[in-house]
Structure formats: C-alpha cells, structure tokens
C-alpha cells in the first residue's frame, strides 16, 4: 500500500541505498537466492516463475495473497512462486514480522507461509497506531508467539533466540536490499519470468492473473513441445 508522500520517501530511501552501495562497493552476494519457495515447487527452465514482494503488515499484500494462491493452485506444476519479504519503512513493525519469516524458515521451513497467512489474519494488531505505546520487546514477544504457534511449540526457544540471531537480521536486510536492487518501491510487487508487472503496489485479482499467465503458459508449452519433437527427430 502506497500513498504519494510515502512513495516519495521510499524512493529517496532507495536512492540513498543505491548511492551507499556505489560508495562502499558492490553489496556482498548472499549464499543463497533470496526468498521462500512456495510448497517447494521445483523450478526449471520450463517453469513460469512468479516472484512476489510482500510486506506482512501491508493490507494490499494481504489482499493480493488469496488470488495469487488460487492462481498457483490452478496452474500447478507449470508455475513456481517465490516470496520476497520487503519491509516497508513506514510500517513500524514490518521489519520484525519479515524477520520472523526468516526465523521460522530457518527452524521449520514448511511453516513459513503458514506464518505469513497468520500475520495477514492478525495484521491490524501490528499497525502503527495500535502499537504506538508498546515497547519493541512486547511487539517482538507477540510476533514470536504467533511464530511458535505455526512452527511448533517445541521450537519456542529457537524462535525466541532467532530474534537476537545476527543471521536472521542479516537475511532480512538482504531481502530489503534485494527488492531495492530490483526497483521495488511498494508492496505487493510482482515479476513473472524476471519481468516486472505494471501497477506495482496494487493487488492483482485471480482473473487478472489468468490473463497474465495463460499466454505465458501456452508459450512455454509450445516451446517444450518443439524441444521434444526436435529431440525425437535427432
């Protein structure tokens, strides 16, 4: 979700981040590609890859998730979905909730998207105004409780310690910097096979996803069929 003043502030922030990289040199390349693969769907050269940049505290990200999930289920193995956390700086609790996704992904990867959906369900509890008088530690405690709920009660200590772990802090920063490097300025933001979709910062409904993906899937199927025919004739 993005208003004009917020967009200008974030654009300025992205410029400053890029300038700092130019001054300090190239940012360190992370050990693995940023983001969380949905349902561990295998990604191949014949798979249509959707990349979604979400902020767990963004209402538009929340609204964008159900139709995207529905589209993924419709196309099945023809698509792969990668979620990149992108904590917007004007949402006070975005960084800690994005970090929680990394914490849970580290200790119980299958629960990562369950936590995202739980954040969407309880999103209003983490808006700026309701948490204005809360300490950071109380917000982190609340986030950790939700993370424990989806990951497993036996992982409670691991999850709580994850919020003081330098690695999860670093991974969350990398997620934000990666989004900036791709030109992301709001959430939700989508790429299909590496190409950005228009109207960044707005949700896409199911029928829009069908209109976007149907011709891409058809093209991928024709290419795969051609490759099989050429291979058989060789």
Q: Sketch out the chain's domains with CATH numbers.
A: 4-205 (3.40.30.10)
Q: Assess contact for 57 and 101: CB atoms under 8 A.
A: no
Residue 217: the pLDDT is 92
pTM: 0.83
**Both tokens assigned to 219:** 């093209």
Structure tokens belonging to residue 131:
């948490």
Q: What is the pLDDT along the chain (234 residues), one digit of tens a residue?
A: 655 555 445 555 554 445 444 444 456 788 899 999 999 877 777 899 999 999 999 999 999 999 999 999 999 999 999 999 999 999 999 999 999 999 999 999 999 999 999 999 999 999 999 999 999 999 999 999 999 999 999 999 999 999 999 999 999 999 999 999 999 999 999 999 999 999 889 999 999 999 999 999 987 665 554 444 445 545
3-state secondary structure (DSSP) of residue 83: strand
Residue 27: per-residue pLDDT: 61
Strands (E), 34-90: 36-37, 48-54, 79-85
Angstrom distance (rounded) from CA 110 to CA 222: 33
């Amino acid at each position: 979700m993005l208003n004009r003043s917020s967009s200008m502030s974030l654009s300025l922030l992205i410029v400053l981040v890029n300038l700092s990289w130019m001054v300090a040199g190239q940012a360190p390349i992370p050990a693995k590609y940023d983001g969380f693969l949905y349902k561990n769907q295998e990604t191949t050269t014949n798979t249509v890859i959707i990349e979604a940049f979400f902020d767990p505290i963004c209402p538009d990200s929340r609204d964008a998730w159900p139709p995207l999930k529905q589209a993924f289920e419709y196309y099945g193995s023809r698509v792969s979905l990668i979620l990149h956390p992108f904590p917007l700086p004007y949402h006070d609790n975005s960084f800690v909730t994005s970090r929680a996704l990394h914490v849970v992904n580290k200790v119980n990867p299958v629960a990562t998207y369950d936590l995202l959906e739980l954040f969407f369900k309880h999103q209003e509890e983490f808006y700026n105004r309701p948490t204005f008088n809360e300490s950071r530690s109380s917000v982190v405690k609340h986030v950790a409780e939700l993370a424990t709920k989806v990951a497993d009660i036996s992982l409670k200590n691991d999850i709580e310690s994850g919020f003081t772990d330098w690695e999860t802090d670093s991974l969350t920063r990398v997620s934000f910097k990666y989004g900036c490097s791709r030109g992301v300025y709001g959430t939700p933001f989508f790429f299909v096979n590496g190409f950005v979709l228009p109207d960044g910062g707005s949700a896409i409904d199911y029928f829009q996803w069908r209109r976007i993906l149907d011709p891409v899937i058809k093209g991928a199927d024709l290419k795969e069929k051609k490759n099989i025919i050429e291979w058989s004739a060789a």
